[in-house]
Amino acid sequence: MVGGGKGAFIGVVHRMAAQLDGECELVCGAFSSTPDKSKESGQELYLPSERVYGAYEEMFNREKELPEGERMDFVTIVTPNNAHFPVAKMALESGFPVMSEKPMTYSLAEAKELKKIVDETGLLFGLTHNYTGYPLVKEAREMVRTGKLGKIRKIVVEYPQGWLATKLEDTGQKQAAWRSDPKRAGIANCMGDIGIHAENLCEYITGLHITEVCADLTTFVEGRSLDDDGNVLLHFKNGAKGVLHASQISVGEENALSIRVYGVKGGLVWHQQDPNTLIAKWNDRPDEIIRAGGSYLSAPALQNTRLPMGHPEAFVEAFANLYRNYILTLKSILDGVEPDPANLDFPSVEEGIRGMAFIETVVESSASDIKWTRFKSF
C-alpha cells in the first residue's frame, strides 16, 4: 500500500475492503511521504518493521528483490491524486500489478500515458470506482443490458454533499485541504472527487458513453481555488439525454449519490445511502422494490452479495467486491488459468481514462460560451 497513513480516510477503507473476504493480506506499505509517519502507521498495522518503507520508491525496489511468494502480489495506491501516476508507473515498471484510487491520474495526458504502460507491461490494473461494487448497481446494469427497460431515453445522476459549505480547508481538515488544492487534486475539486463517480456510475449501469456536455461549474465558497458545485447537461451516444449534478455545498446532504434511468419500457432508481434497495418503475403495473439478497436477482448481483436479505451490506462490502474480483482475477493469472469472466467485473484503465476525460471536458465546457462541448475521446 502506498499512502493511507494515520489520519487518512480512504486507506482504512481499502484495508478493510481488501481483507474482508480473507483472500488477501496486507504485507508491506509506504504509508506516508514522511518516513517516520510511515513507520508509525506500519507499526499500528502490526506489520514487521522491515516491510514498512519510508518511500514508495524504496518499497518497489526492495520488494522486487524479495523471492517470489514472499514479495507483495500487488500494490494499492491511496495517495492524493497528484501521486497516482508516478506511483502507478513505477509499480508497473517494477512488475507489480496495481489497484489505484480514482481519479486515475492528475491529468488526462497522464491517464493516456498510464494506459500505454499498462498495455506494455500487461499487468493487471484496477481502479476503485467503488460504487459500482454494490450488488444492486450490478442488478441495475443487468436490467438495462437485458432490455428490461427498453431503449434508454433519460438519465438523471446526482451527487450532492454538504461538507464543504464552509471553508473547511482552512481549519486544517486534511480531506478538505488536498481536495481543494489544485497542486494535489488537479483542475477540479467537486467534479474530480465526486462528479467523476456520477459519470462512472451512469456509464457503468447504462453501458452508454457520454458524447457531449454542457457544464456550469461554480465555486461558491469565497477564496476556494476550485469548483465546489456543478450542473451538467448530458448527451449520450444513443440519443439519450441526461442531467448530472454534484455539489459539496448542499448543506445537510451527506454522500447522496443517486441515479435514475428511464427507458421506453421502464425505469429504475438507486440511492447510495440506501444501497440495498433498487426500485424498478413501470407505467402499467406497480413499481417493484428489488432488494439485495433476493432470490430473484441476476447472477452478477448475487455473486457480489455475502448475506441473506435484510442483513444489510454497505460501503465496505461494495468496496470489497471490487477487491475480490480483482484479486480472484489476479490469482487466476498468477495460477496460469483463465480468469472467471464474472470476476472481470472491476473498473480498470479504460474507466480511468473516461473519468479524466470527463473532468477535462466539464472544466472546458464550463469556461465556454458555446453550448455543447464534445466529450474528449482518446
Q: What is the DSSP letter of 158?
A: E
Residue in 4, 42, 267, 352 binding its own copies, rule: CB under 8 A = 267
Comparison of 105 and 161: residue with beta carbon closer to its own copies: 161
Question: How do 241-247 and 258-263 pair as beta strands?
Answer: unpaired
Residue with cell 432508481: 269
Residue in 50, 122, 171, 285 binding its own copies, rule: CB under 8 A = 285
Size of the site for its own copies (CB under 8 A): 88
Comparison of 169 and 317: residue with beta carbon closer to its own copies: 317
Near its own copies in 4-43, by CB under 8 A: 9, 12-13, 15-16, 19-22, 26
Residue with cell 465558497: 221
Near its own copies in 78-137, by CB under 8 A: none
Residue with cell 435484510: 310
Check residue 49 for interaction with its own copies (CB under 8 A): no
Distance in Å, CB of 262 to its own copies, minimum: 5
Comparison of 161 and 304: residue with beta carbon closer to its own copies: 161
Residue in 66, 109, 289, 299 binding its own copies, rule: CB under 8 A = 289
Rg (CA), the chain: 20
Query: Does the N-terminal peptide bond of residue 103 adopt cis geometry, omega within 30 degrees of 0?
Result: yes
Task: Please answer whether residues 251 and 213 qualify as being in contact, where contact means their C-beta atoms are separated by less than 8 angstroms.
Answer: no
Tell me the longest C-alpha to C-alpha distance in the chain: 65
Near its own copies in 296-315, by CB under 8 A: 296, 306-315
Comparison of 110 and 313: residue with beta carbon closer to its own copies: 313
Task: Please answer whether residues 165 and 221 qualify as being in contact, where contact means their C-beta atoms are separated by less than 8 angstroms.
Answer: yes
Comparison of 61 and 238: residue with beta carbon closer to its own copies: 238
C-alpha cell at 98: 496495481
Distance in Å, CB of 275 to its own copies, minimum: 6
* Segment interacting with its own copies (CB under 8 A) among 48-56, 105-113, 119-127, 277-285: 277-285
Which stretches of 147-254 are DSSP H helices? Answer: 174-179, 182-185, 190, 196-206
Near its own copies in 227-266, by CB under 8 A: 229, 231, 233, 241-243, 245, 247, 249-256, 260, 262-266
Task: Please answer whether residues 348 and 119 qualify as being in contact, where contact means their C-beta atoms are separated by less than 8 angstroms.
Answer: no
Residue in 30, 140, 290, 328 binding its own copies, rule: CB under 8 A = 290
Alpha-carbon separation of residue 37 from 77, 91, 100, 273, 292 (angstroms): 17, 21, 21, 33, 40
* Segment interacting with its own copies (CB under 8 A) among 50-58, 292-300, 323-331, 338-346: 292-300
Comparison of 10 and 55: residue with beta carbon closer to its own copies: 10
| Phi, psi of 263, deg, nearest 5 | -110, -175
| Phi, psi of 313, deg, nearest 5 | -105, 160
d(CA 67, CA 53): 18
Q: What is the DSSP letter of 375?
A: P
Comparison of 13 and 330: residue with beta carbon closer to its own copies: 13
Distance in Å, CB of 116 to its own copies, minimum: 34
76 three-class SS = strand
Binding-residue pattern over the window 145 to 184 for its own copies, x denoting contact by CB under 8 A: ----x---xx-x-x-xxxx-x-------------------
Alpha-carbon separation of residue 33 from 36, 125, 272, 309 (angstroms): 9, 23, 33, 43
Distance in Å, CB of 243 to its own copies, minimum: 5
d(CA 204, CA 114): 21
Task: Please answer whether residues 361 and 213 qualify as being in contact, where contact means their C-beta atoms are separated by less than 8 angstroms.
Answer: yes
Comparison of 122 and 172: residue with beta carbon closer to its own copies: 172
Check residue 293 for interaction with its own copies (CB under 8 A): yes
